[in-house]
Structure 1
Amino acid sequence: MNFLLSKLNATFRDKKAYFFIVLIMFCLGISFGLYTVKYMGASDRKDLISYFSSFTNSIGSQPINYGTLLFEVIKKNILIIIPIFVLGLTFFGAPVILILDLLKGFTLGYTFSFMVTTFEGKGVGLALVSIIPQNLIYIPCFIALSVISLSMSTEKLKGKFFKQIKSKDPFLDGVLNKLIGILVLFAIGIVIETYVSPSLIKFVAQKFYL
């Protein structure tokens, strides 16, 4: 355990600038999401409330189709994981990776803020059980994947424009093992989002919304 913690600390120190940039973009995205809800127009808010109310009624009264849900959750995560990894293989990928970090943060901030503010406090429970459990795993994985991809993209950039620099980034040693570890954690998050969060959402919906 101490060895693992020391490795994580060494990794953070080695790439703290990348971690900092990714966190900044992610937090900016959350802030933009929060403010978007705050200044949302009345008609847009009404449409979302109507949709959200029908959603809570549906999930609270109907059985959960875990097969369909699992497919949708996997698809949603693949649409995040693959673009970030592929962009890491290109010399121009770094700015786009940061934009994806921003969008991920925006989605979380928007969703959480909408649930909490729209239903005058009653949405706090639903926001917590629908967003927090899986994202306790997703967010660190997302940040780690972004840092790895930024490092890979930077190496590609150096190789293209600074060919005299031959030293390899030691952070990328064993990158395959790092990626496998991230994918395993993502899989755990997918299981939680598919089989744990829906039951919690169903319980909260039945308790407070039906």
Structure 2
Amino acid sequence: MRSLRLMMKEQTPLYIFVAVLFLVGVVFGALIVSALTLDQQQELGDYLGNFFVTVDQQGLPAAPDSYWDIAALNLKWIGLIWILGLSVIGLPGILILDFLKGVLIGFTVGCMVSEYSWHGMLFALVSVAPHNLVLIPVLLVGSAAAIAFSLLMIRSQVLGQLRSPVARPFVMYTVLSFGLAVLVLGISGFEAWVTPTMMRWVTPMLVSKG
């Protein structure tokens, strides 16, 4: 446990780097919304309107049914980051995933605000923000650990700068990733059971506005 804490402390600059990369993705995703053509904005508005009407009238899938879909999706992010961290060539992929996650969130929130003003912001706060306040730091910690291990592999295998075995860092990296995966299961439970309830509270306002 002490080794894990020390490892995470040493990776602080990487946390800052991936956090900035994620935030750049968020801004980029929000800017994409303003770059949409009128036809694309109309199609997006129609899609959102139909979605809110469906949620208001029929609700969302039952939590037990949606939980495993949500958990599987979130675990895929953790698993893919872990796999990319094991390879020398996986470093760019980790950075792309962090940027892409930011773009997805920025685009989603941007769409809500663009179409529904402050009502859209309220919906984003209850549907996007709560679980992502924990999920995003988890993904960023996993990404920083993956980048650190990938750099270690580069120094060891490509540059030949390290003579010490990478078995211990690999174990620490894997244990950390496993712990993050367990956290993701808990976050997915919140997203499956609590988030839909909050979404149903806000949806009627969006339907009436539409």
* Shared fold (TM-score, shorter chain, > 0.5): yes
**Residue-pair matches, total:** 205
User: Would the aligned equivalents of 2:55 and 2:200 in 1 still touch at CA under 8 Å?
Assistant: yes
Q: Distance in 2 between matches of 1:151 and 1:83?
A: 15
From 16, 20, 27, the counterpart of 1:31: 27
Q: Distance in 2 between matches of 1:24 and 1:126?
A: 25
Q: Distance in 1 between matches of 2:158 and 2:43?
A: 50
From 186, 198, 201, the counterpart of 1:200: 198
Unpaired runs of at least 5, structure 2: none
Unpaired runs of at least 5, structure 1: none
Match of 2:145 in 1: 148
1:42 equivalent in alignment to 2:38: yes
One-letter amino acid matched to 1:46: Q
Match of 1:57 in 2: 53
Q: CA deviation at 1:172?
A: 5.8
From 67, 83, 88, the counterpart of 2:85: 88
Q: Secondary structure at the residue paired with 2:128?
A: helix
TM-score by length of 2: 0.88
Match of 2:174 in 1: 176
Match of 1:165 in 2: 162
From 107, 112, 122, the counterpart of 2:119: 122
One-letter amino acid matched to 1:43: D
Q: Which moved more, 1:16-25 or 1:92-101?
A: 16-25
Q: CA deviation at 1:177?
A: 3.1
One-letter amino acid matched to 1:39: A
Residue by residue, what CA displacement relative to the aligned partner does 1:41-69 show, whole Å, maximum 9, x if unpaired? Answer: 11111111101111111111114322432
Residue by residue, what CA displacement relative to the aligned partner does 1:112-159 show, whole Å, maximum 9, x if unpaired? Answer: 111012212221111111101110111110001101111121121122
1:104 equivalent in alignment to 2:97: no
User: Would the aligned equivalents of 2:71 and 2:184 in 1 still touch at CA under 8 Å?
Assistant: no
Q: CA deviation at 1:178?
A: 1.7
Q: Distance in 1 between matches of 2:158 and 2:172?
A: 25
Q: Secondary structure at the residue paired with 2:118?
A: coil
Q: Secondary structure at the residue paired with 1:166?
A: coil
C-alpha RMSD over aligned residues = 2.2
Q: Distance in 1 between matches of 2:188 and 2:177?
A: 16
User: Would the aligned equivalents of 1:25 and 1:99 in 2 still touch at CA under 8 Å?
Assistant: no
TM-score by length of 1: 0.88
